Amino acid sequence: MPDSLCGAWIAIDDADEQNGAIWFAKGSGHEPIYPPCPEVGYGFGDKIVGDIQYVKGVSDPDDENNTLTGVAGKYDQVLSIMKAGDVAYFNGHVLHRSKKNWTTDRYRRSFVGHYCNARSFTQWGADDRNYAADQSSTELPDVHRAPIVDQTTGMTNASHILARGDTHLRFAVPRFGTPCAALLPPEVRSAEYRKIAQMIQVQGNGLLGCALAAPNLVDDDDEPSDPVKGGGY
């Protein structure tokens, strides 16, 4: 997955430890991408690392079947207790998981969106089975398969929607017409992209005009800044 990827886990129901809230392994974002064992049949990873550990069962809530548990276990486990409508944002490299719903009368539904730089090369959803698959088939696709996979490079960018900005890579459009950059004419996308790039370029600190914090700055409506009482911006 691209290094620029960010996940947004949106709770549809209240989520806690009993009904399967999401856990994060704090500090695990610097770990390599562990490749799947050959018998898994899909997925990539940092296979060029000489002593890399191959994993399987990474989505299995049973720790005995999930070999990635040992890697995540080196880090503090943070439980994200959420109310319906809450959103947890996280770096795509941070190890995360949801465990079993132990309740008998509560759902734990969620919607997860993944976002990355539109110029990132991604192979998410491309695996050996995808290359051999007849993509014109009317059969239901494998759950891990991207709708469009470049047969030479394995690139799946054409399966992912361009939300904003512009890119030289292929992209998908929303099925239900949700307003986004993917539906704009190329010249409009290009013009808006250049406008945003110019806005960022003229800002010395990259904060789009937002000033850096200055605790001792006194405003007309403020008392002079005091280290005990505070004041100023």
Q: Per-residue pLDDT for the chain (233 aa), expressed as one digit of tens each?
A: 667 889 999 999 999 999 999 999 999 998 988 888 877 766 678 888 888 889 988 888 888 889 999 999 999 999 999 999 999 999 988 999 988 899 999 999 999 998 988 888 888 777 644 444 445 554 545 666 788 888 888 888 999 999 988 998 999 999 999 999 999 999 999 998 888 777 777 766 656 556 666 667 665 555 554 544 443 33
- Position 130 in a domain: no
User: Measured between alpha carbons, how far is 50 from 55 in angstroms, rounded to an integer?
Assistant: 15
Which residue matches tokens 């995808």? 130
Tokens encoding 189: 């996308």
- Position 185 in a domain: no
User: Measured between alpha carbons, how far is 179 from 161 in angstroms, rounded to an integer?
Assistant: 11
Q: Which domain holds residue 53?
A: 7-117
User: Measured between alpha carbons, how far is 61 from 109 in angstroms, rounded to an integer?
Assistant: 16
Overall domain count for the chain: 1
User: Torsion angle, CA of 192/194/199/204, rounded to 10 degrees?
Assistant: 150
Does residue 188 contact residue 195 with C-beta atoms inside 8 Å? Answer: no
In this prediction the pTM is 0.70
User: From residue 27, how far is each of 87, 116, 170 by CA, in Å?
Assistant: 20, 20, 33
Determine the distance from the C-alpha atom of residue 161 to the mean position of all C-alpha atoms in its chain, rounded to a whole number: 14
Tokens encoding 18: 């009993």
- Position 228 in a domain: no
- Position 157 in a domain: no
